[in-house]
Each structure stands twice: as C-alpha cells, then as structure tokens.
Structure 1
Amino acid sequence: MPKSLDEIDLKILAEIQADGRITNVELAKRVGISPPPCLRRVRALEEAGYIQGYRGLLDPRKLGFDVTVFASVHLASQADADLKAFEDFVRKEPLVRECWMLSGEIDFILKCVAPDMATFQVFVSQLTAAPHVRNVRTSLVLHNSKYDAAVPLELKDAD
C-alpha cells in the first residue's frame, strides 16, 4: 500500500482517469515503465483505495433521462440517527445519482435525473414526505457548461 504517491503513480492515475479501458501494456508504455511493475502499481493503487472502481460514463439524455434537477433538502433534525435515516432513504432512490451532506442552512443537495418532469414530481412528493424532511427546494438544470468527473491531478504537483 503506497504511503505517498510518486510521479509514476500520478501518471498512472492520470492515464486511467482519462481512459479506464487502457490496457496494461499501453499504460506501461505511456508512463515509462515495463508492464509487470505497472500492473503491480495499479493493483497497489486499487488496494490502497486511490482507484475506487471503473465505470463507463453514459449520456443520460441519449438514454431518455432528459431532466436533471438539483434538490436542496433541509431536515427538521440533524441528529445522527435522522441524518442516517435520510441517507438510507436516498440510497434506495434510483433517480438520485449523487447525495452530498453540506454545512450551513441546507443539509443535503441531491443530483437527480428523470425521464420527464412528471416522474420527477412524483419523486419530489416522496422526498418531501420522507422522515425528518422540513423542506425541499429544486432547481431544474437548463444547461451544463462543464462536466468533468476527473480529479485535477495536475494540481497535485503543486504540493
């Protein structure tokens, strides 16, 4: 398990982040080491939790999910059990793609996708009726100017 990342580890992470389907041979070539140690490094990065998994990025609109909404949720109680209960509720909801706990007035912000507004409205009704939910405010996404799921590894060099 790497204690700190060296330059080769950062190159490996950058390449995998750019193309999760890259072969080990190509990855090794791009980072300047031979394939066996490259594979060992990738496995060590996985085991250490730097690489959490591999996914394909899908276009929700092409798959019929034309509505993206952010929902700001304020709970009536911030007791640990109530926060956990809300998180458990959200984890079971397929329209919720991301859930972030925040500091300040809003307790959670949810990123949701739906095939249409009617489907989302049904979900909002369920969300507002969920235990300990005080209020929900929604913001419909009109346009996405930037979507980059990657970690800005180029800033890591500044450390």
Structure 2
Amino acid sequence: MGAKSYQLDDIDRDILRHLQAEGRLTNVDLAQRVGLTAPPCLRRVRALEEAGIINGYHADVNAGQLDYGITVFAMVSLKSQAEADLQAFEAHIADLPPVRECHMLNGEIDFILKIVAKDLQSFQQFLTGKLTSAPNVEHVKTSLTIRAAKRLPGVPVD
C-alpha cells in the first residue's frame, strides 16, 4: 500500500501530530490522546508505517551537548549537472557524517548542505579536505548560522 493511496482520516492525522511532537509516546498514551483504545491505535500506527507515511523514529539530539558548536549551510555548484555526476556527488556526501542534510536545488546552486562541526577550525578542515576538493565541485559558498529561530521536525499535519 503506497503513501499516495492511503486515505488519512482525522484520527490518523491526530496520531501523526502527536508522534511528530513526541515520538516516545507509549501506545497507551497515544491512544488516550486520540480517543482510541490501545489495540486499534497500534493497528493504525502500524498501517501508517507500512504505508510509508511514518518513516522512522529519532531522538532530537542537542548538538551543543555533543560539542557541535556550529552549523553551516553550504551552497555547492558543480562543474557538470549530468545525472551520473549528480549521483556521484550525492554518494560522496552520503559518506560524510558532518553533512546532516543534502538537498538538490533548481537554479544557480546545485545543492545546499547542512553541516555541523565542533568549531571553525574543524569546519575549515572539512571544507577544504572533503567538500571543495570533491570531484566535480566548481565552488562552495558557506554561511555560518547565528541562531535557529525555528526548528520543527516533519511537516504540518492539517
């Protein structure tokens, strides 16, 4: 059953809202919040997982507590946008743990990356040693974040 064919009702949407906000809810607590008993609530959650609507569950880790003091957004332009070159860049990025997100863009920039680093020196080493030196990279523009004004997981569930 694909996500496109799965018909969400109000209870499914309520389940998604609660799990997005607090993924560690027990099934009993979730069931109470959405007005169900535990067994049908669990069936619905499993159906949402099987349909590919719920992809997984993750801890929201405090980067600063693990000494990742900076977050940088890097805008990467490639020399070639041939599909093989795009895939090769994506494969290279997939093996770089400091890159937490990679999005291909439409326009002047080919990719935007979200990168975490312990400090500016380690970011600079990563930038020159792993990113700008990667095959097919034409240039990289970076912006260091000052603060995050909004950071929400997932998507709005209407």
Pairwise TM-score range, normalised by the shorter structure: over 0.9
The letter for the 1-side match of 2:58 is R
Match in the other structure for 2:80: 77
Summarize deviations over 1:11-35 as a string: whole Å, max 9, x none.
1111111111111111111111111
Question: What percentage of aligned pairs have identical amino acids?
Answer: 55
Counterpart among 22, 27, 48 of residue 24 in structure 1 = 27
Q: Please list every run of at least 4 consecutive aligned residues from structure 1 whose deviation after the TM superposition is greater than 4 angstroms.
A: none
Whole-angstrom distance in 1 between the partners of 2:146 and 2:46: 40
Q: Report matched runs for 1:1-150 at 5 Å.
A: 1=1, 3-125=6-128, 126-150=130-154
The letter for the 1-side match of 2:57 is Y
Number of residue pairs aligned between Structure 1 and Structure 2 = 154
The letter for the 1-side match of 2:110 is D
The letter for the 2-side match of 1:150 is G
Structure 2 alignment gaps of length 5 or more: none
The letter for the 2-side match of 1:90 is I
Match in the other structure for 1:152: 156
Summarize deviations over 1:81-108 as a string: whole Å, max 9, x none.
0000000000000110000000000000
Superposition RMSD in Å: 1.0
Structure 1 alignment gaps of length 5 or more: none
Query: Tell me, what secondary structure is at the counterpart of 1:142?
Result: coil
Report deviation, 1:150: 3.2
Query: Tell me, what secondary structure is at the counterpart of 1:57?
Result: coil
TM-score (norm 2): 0.94
The letter for the 2-side match of 1:64 is D
TM-score (norm 1): 0.94
Report deviation, 1:4: 1.1
The letter for the 1-side match of 2:138 is R
Whole-angstrom distance in 2 between the partners of 1:150 and 1:77: 32
